[in-house]
Amino acid sequence: MARTMQPQELIDSAVVDPDGNKLGKVGNVYLADATHQPEWITVKTGLFGTKESFVPLSGAHTDRDGVHVQVDKDSVSDAPRIDADGHLSPEESEQLYHHYGLPVPRTSPDGRMDGGKAAAGGRGKPAMGGKRDERAMTRSEERLTVGTEQVETGRVRLRKYVVTEEQQVTVPVRHEEVRVEREPVTRGDGTAEIGEAEQDVVLHAEKPLVRKETVPVERVRLRTETVSDEQTVSGKVRKEQFEITDDDRKHRRS
């Protein structure tokens, strides 16, 4: 590395693998017991950053877009699940080194590797000179977890019913009427007699005939379709803050 990484500068930085994939954000920085230099970082992964995976800083460097590490995304996803509780035991450190194919440092008198301790921003001790206090407090906070569920909002019923309405239709009709026709009679066209006579003529007329028939005119069905919309939800969450009071009763908040 071109210069020594400062733990305070690494916290919440984006972590990028050699292929440019963003792995997550830095949660904790762990210092080597022997050198007190940053050796491991934990990367917040998963939904809402609820999981933390250990990633080695060997060969890593910082840039404008975050911390560039030398291990790929798949290796980080398959890394051993170790709790980021503020300190790595020698066994946990050795397990991580083997997983990433890195040489295991031999620094302790018995030939075993020392573990690492969390630095600033994590749940361990701050990376500062002087005596290191083993006591620590954990700060927790609530976060909103948002999801969706399908609920019944109502029912729609399709029903048909009968109504009666008046219809008027114009129908052309014909009828017979009597017309009197007269024509002159010449001599020799028959004999003439004086008397009474009758002749009947039957008259006809058309009248409308109304019939009803049932015919299908339309088919109606109900179907549902899904439309997307956006809703804004809100909720109150609690989080813990640290307050430091010295002997002069001066308060500092972080």
Give the model confidence (pLDDT) of 51-69 as tens digits: 788 999 988 898 888 899 9
Assigned token pair, 246? 């010295």
| Torsion sign over Cα 46, 52, 53, 56 | positive
**CB burial readout 214-248, b (16+ within 10 A) else e:** eeeeeeeeeeeeeeeeeeeeeeeeeeeeeeeeeee
The candidate with the shortest Cα–Cα distance to 231, out of 153, 146, 160, is 146
pLDDT band at 253 (very low <50, low <70, confident <90, very high): low
Note the CATH architecture for domain 7-128. Roll (2.30)
Instruction: Examine the pLDDT at 106 and tell me if it is beyond 70.
Output: no
- Could you tell me which residues come within 8 angstroms of residue 235 by beta carbon, excluding any fewer than 6 positions away? 144
Q: Considering the entire predicted model, what is its pTM?
A: 0.43
